[in-house]
Chain A
Amino acid sequence: MWQPELETITRDELRMLQEERFQRSWRHIWADAPAQTKLLHDAGAERGDIRSLDDVHKLPFTDKSVFTEHYPFGLFAVPPEAVVRLHSTSGTTSKPSMGGYTYTDMVHWKDLVARVCVMAGVTKRDTAHIAFGFGMFTGGFGLNYGLEHMGVRVLPMGGGQTEKQLMMMRDMGSTVLVATPSYALYLSEAVREAGIKEDLMLRVGLFGGEGHTQEMAEQIERNLGIIATSNYGLCELGGPGISGECLLKTGMHIAEDHYFCEIINPETGAVLPEGETGELVVTPLTREALPLIRYRTKDITKITTEPCKCGRTHARMSPTLGRSDDMLIIRGVNVYPSQIESVLIRQEHIGPHYMLVVRREGVMDTLEVQVELTDGAVLDSFHLLEQIQNNIREQIRNILGLTVKVTLVAPQTVERFMGKAKRIKDERGM
């Protein structure tokens, strides 16, 4: 463990530490973050209302729209000169969310990422190949800092240039691969096609930046002969390091000494009891530049505080089922792309990449699932090809209760992603 005294703290002591840190963060917001204070005030919350973390559920949520509204620095709680680092989301749909770090925030960040890496079995004898994009995305730099902090040799490859990635991975003897799961899958296919799996020393994957299914992780594990682990973070909350899987892979341990987490019903906002699935809401406890109250992550997951055999006492969150933003509503059925992915990845004869196309035909929404036919062996008969389509359609119907159109397309025609995958095309014009 990287910080055993904090990672194995008893639940009672953890609660006391959280209380103490929350009170400090609460005072910091009221003293130094006028825009956030106004939001609280407008929602009817006052400084004295909150006696302990038990009262947090009374406070209003913050979400991405608050970042957009106060772009770029309106939410910050320190003077500009105290901010030593800025990161941001990609901002494809609106103004990006700006994330900021003070020197102390950076120190915490390195430790939190180092924890996640150690949990995944990384040691300082490893060589880590980082295929996350660098730049404003928190992933590349975050993992770089954490790994370097541990004494791991780091290759800051960035995304793209697949051939060069493979060459460096082989020639540098990389043992750890850091990437988004969709890019890791892409790289793992390239490794398989190049037939160089046996030349690689890779043993562990640290995957984050987007959710993925168990099946997808297993496919990457098979292609590369590694153990795939997930970790989780959000730019608005300080990037990677919020949670990560230990080698038992029974959920991602949340750094609860830095983040207080709740699960809510995304429709009503009501806090759900432990073990129920809902949207993750996070209140950071130690952030100086950007303290926040009840940030809605849009990620759907569940949390357990059951003890983990690894000895860490921090609660575990399940791999995210998807973002509530990515959730499609098709003919009244809630659809997460991950549910469809879990069906596709088990199928033979097709490739792992897919695209979901939503259309409106008349008053009906339709969902088309495009997958690549990669196996020539089934070309001999239409019957087999139709069987593939029917199997996929049936299995999706079993899971979602929704009939979709399955289209087989030629290999290498579904878009590949170097960073976060965008697997939905919504052509409904809404």
Chain B
Amino acid sequence: MDIDKKIVDDLVANDVSFVTTVPCKQLAGVIEEVDQRDGIFHIPSNKEDEGMGLCAGAFMGGKRPAIIMQNTAIGVTINTLATLIQYYRMPLPMLISYRGELREPVACQVEMAVHTKALLAQMNIPTYHFHNQSDVEELDMILKYTFMCNKPVAILTDANFWGGYGDQ
């Protein structure tokens, strides 16, 4: 299975047509796939809170948005999630590379990994963790759920899901 293509196919099938990205090595393939799709407007952001602002505007303009980012961004975006996305009740699928989990080679990444789920839980953000490739089968349902309830929803995708990242 081409995991990058499958993810972007699900975005397109759910009418997601505005995607902002902040890169991560694990996400390089999916970002490239997003960039090449005709049905998706891809706008890279310089910082994830900026990207959430773009998504909020696109949503109010009638597009279904999504953001692709690293889990370190949770540390950057708590205020934006609370006072913009949640306060105005907007849907936002967040496809997140879950750095610092099993098969992670960079020790510093673990420092945010240990806070990631706790922060998302504190924010009452529905959170899904993709660990095996077969977990991607839930993405279509997660996207439908996100646009049904108008909430930010986190999809954490770890190194094992992506087939390893610099295995030790």
A and B bind: no
